[in-house]
């Protein structure tokens, strides 16, 4: 029996197929530019779309837009639209998004360290 600090056990259906409780968050975070977006938005209080694009020059506008929509649906990013001329929209991490960012920091530090050790061709 797991205690309150243990991660949830995978659940299995009648045919023996098991479902990991991380599947949903892993699906969202494994998409292209997802972890970079968490880091970029997390490094600022809020950002406008063009500012996010400037941090990801190789990403297409549609990919960034799709990730932001997915993050909103997952509750990781908030989108605030201001009724101004010209219109202004800002994106910020939610509390859950900030927690994901905090938990990603060790992984990103390891990846940076590992990348520095990888010889370049």
pTM of the model: 0.73
Question: Rounded to an integer, what distance in angstroms lies between the CA atom of residue 53 and that of residue 41?
Answer: 11
Asked if pLDDT for residue 22 goes beyond 70, the answer is: no
**Domains of the chain and CATH, by start:** 17-116 (1.10.10.10)
Please state the length of the chain. 121
Question: Rounded to an integer, what distance in angstroms lies between the CA atom of residue 96 and that of residue 17?
Answer: 29
99: pLDDT confidence band, cut at 50, 70 and 90? very high
Question: Rounded to an integer, what distance in angstroms lies between the CA atom of residue 78 and that of residue 96?
Answer: 10
What are the E-state strand segments in the chain?
Answer: 11-12, 18-19, 47-48, 77-82, 88-93
Query: In the prediction, which pLDDT does 1 show?
Result: 47
């Amino acid at each position: 029996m797991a205690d309150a600090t243990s991660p949830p056990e995978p659940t299995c259906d009648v045919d023996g197929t098991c479902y990991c409780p991380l599947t949903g968050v892993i699906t969202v975070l494994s998409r292209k530019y997802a972890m970079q977006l968490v880091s970029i938005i997390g490094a600022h209080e809020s950002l406008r779309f063009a500012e996010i694009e400037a941090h990801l020059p190789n990403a297409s506008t549609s990919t960034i837009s799709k990730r932001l929509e997915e993050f909103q649906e997952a509750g990781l990013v908030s989108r605030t639209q201001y009724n101004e001329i010209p219109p202004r929209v800002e994106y910020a991490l939610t509390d859950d998004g900030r927690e994901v960012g905090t938990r990603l920091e060790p992984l990103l530090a390891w990846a940076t360290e590992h990348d520095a050790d990888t010889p370049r061709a």
